[in-house]
C-alpha cells in the first residue's frame, strides 16, 4: 500500500491495492489457522485482516466498474448514453478518491 500511495492518481496506482488485498486474505487465513493456539490475538488479527480485505475488495470493484464504464462509453453510438456513462465513471472515480483520502487519514491517525 505504501507503493500504491506513492503513485499519482491513475491506472498505475489503482492496480496495486489488489496485490495488497491478496496479501491481506492470506494473512487472514493464517490468523484463522492458528486461533486455537493464540486465541484472542489471532482472532483479532484475522478480523482486522478481513476488514482490510473487504475495503480493498470494494476498491477493486470500483476499478473494474470504471474500466467497464469507460469501455461501454467508448463503444456506444449514442452521445447521450456515452455522456451518462461518463458521469457514472466520474462519480465512481470520486468515490475511489474518497477511499484514498480515508486511507491517508487512517495512516495519519495510526502513526500518532
Percent over 70 (pLDDT), the chain? 88
Segments forming the whole domain that contains residue 45: 2-110
In the numeric block, the cell 448514453 is attached to 81
pLDDT value of residue 109:
45
Does residue 89 surpass a pLDDT of 90? yes
Q: What is the pLDDT of residue 86?
A: 94
CA–CA dist 1, 18 (Å, integer): 10
Q: Who wins on pLDDT, 80 or 102? A: 80
Name the phi and psi angles at 39, rounded to 5: 40, -120
- The yes-or-no verdict on residue 92 having pLDDT over 50 is yes
Q: Residue 51 has what pLDDT?
A: 84
Number of structural domains the chain divides into: 1
Amino acid at each position: 500500500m505504501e507503493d500504491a500511495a506513492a503513485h499519482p492518481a491513475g491506472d498505475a496506482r489503482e492496480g496495486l491495492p489488489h496485490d495488497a488485498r491478496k496479501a491481506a486474505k492470506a494473512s487472514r487465513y493464517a490468523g484463522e489457522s492458528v486461533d486455537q493456539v493464540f486465541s484472542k490475538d489471532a482472532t483479532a488479527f484475522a478480523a482486522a485482516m478481513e476488514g482490510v480485505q473487504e475495503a480493498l475488495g470494494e476498491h477493486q470493484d470500483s476499478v473494474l466498474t470504471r474500466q467497464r464504464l469507460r469501455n461501454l462509453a467508448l463503444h456506444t453510438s449514442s452521445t447521450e448514453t456515452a455522456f451518462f456513462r461518463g458521469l457514472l465513471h466520474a462519480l465512481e472515480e470520486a468515490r475511489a478518491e474518497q477511499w484514498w483520502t480515508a486511507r491517508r487519514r487512517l495512516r495519519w491517525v495510526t502513526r500518532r
